[in-house]
Amino acid sequence: MIELNKRQERILQIVKDNGPITGEHIAEQLNLTRATLRPDLAILTMSGFLDARPRVGYFYTGKSGSQLLTDSLNSLIIKDYQSIPVVVTESISVYDAIVTMFLEDVGTLFVVDKNSLLVGVLSRKDLLRASIGKQELSSVPVNVIMTRMPNITMCTKEDLLMDVAKKLIEKQIDALPVVRETDNGFEVTGRITKTNITKAFLSLADSSY
């Protein structure tokens, strides 16, 4: 979490005790110039500890560091973190799907029909299960083994990352298709994976230091 220096903690205390208070009055109490304080006030405001209103002054928001982190997590949206989906048609063979998954280095393939609409999802587990069987993999189409609609968990680009992270954990899956609803079905526009979410949370943690 963001670590405040002694002067920033002192500023917080002054605003807690006297807010709303102007920058000039804070500077007076610390025997510093307004210009010297400006960076500290900017950091405290951007971090969410203080709120500033023109011609009124600074207010203490009353939020702890952990509350501010929670607020930040709850503001992350899928569209800012999604990646490019790997899509295959429902007519390709299980063998070709395994090759595609290997070459693209992904854990999930999204299956579409001839109109490019989502009809299924293929996970590593699905392909592994099929490859353990006795059937000839190059003659079995993926639509025999894929998870089909309406049993596919999806999300949209406007969904909150936190909500999607919960879905991934609850359903014990590695990736979700990001979809756009059309008159005829769902179009795959992206994917969100556990890796995407981990990267998002790490970037948020890094920016808090």
Q: pLDDT tens for residues 13-71? A: 999 898 789 999 999 999 999 899 988 998 888 878 888 888 788 888 877 666 666 67
Give the position of tokens 């102007």.
22
Q: What does the block give as tokens for 168?
A: 């991934």
Single-letter code of the amino acid located at 192: I
Three-state secondary structure of the chain = CCCCCHHHHHHHHHHHHHCCECHHHHHHHHCCCHHHHHHHHHHHHHCCCEEEECCCEEEECCCCHHHHHHHHHCCCEHHHCCECCCEEECCCEHHHHHHHHHHHCCCEEEEECCCCEEEEEEEHHHHHHHHHCCCCHHHCEHHHCCEECCCCCCECCCCEHHHHHHHHHHHCCCEEEEEEECCCCEEEEEEEEHHHHHHHHHHHHHHCC
Same structural domain, 90 and 189: yes
Q: pLDDT tens for residues 119-132? A: 999 999 898 888 88
Task: Write down the mean pLDDT value for the chain.
Answer: 87
Tell me whether residue 191 is in a domain: yes
Predicted local distance difference test score (pLDDT) of residue 62: 78
CATH code: domain of residue 166: 3.10.580.10
Predicted local distance difference test score (pLDDT) of residue 208: 44
Predicted local distance difference test score (pLDDT) of residue 107: 92
Identify the band that residue 1 occupies on the pLDDT scale cut at 50, 70 and 90: very low
Same structural domain, 88 and 191: yes
Predicted local distance difference test score (pLDDT) of residue 209: 41
Same structural domain, 170 and 86: yes
Same structural domain, 40 and 99: no
Tell me whether residue 187 is in a domain: yes
Q: pLDDT tens for residues 137-192? A: 888 899 999 999 889 999 999 999 989 999 998 998 999 999 999 999 999 999 99
Q: pLDDT tens for residues 187-206? A: 999 999 998 888 887 776 55
Predicted local distance difference test score (pLDDT) of residue 182: 94
Q: In sequence order, which residues have a C-beta less than 8 Å from that of residue 125 and are 6 or more positions away?
A: none
Predicted local distance difference test score (pLDDT) of residue 64: 63
Q: pLDDT tens for residues 56-112? A: 888 888 776 666 666 767 778 999 999 999 999 999 999 999 999 999 999 999 999
DSSP-derived pairing of the beta strands 57-60 and 186-193: unpaired
- Domain region containing 15: 6-63
Tell me whether residue 208 is in a domain: no
Number of domains in the chain: 2
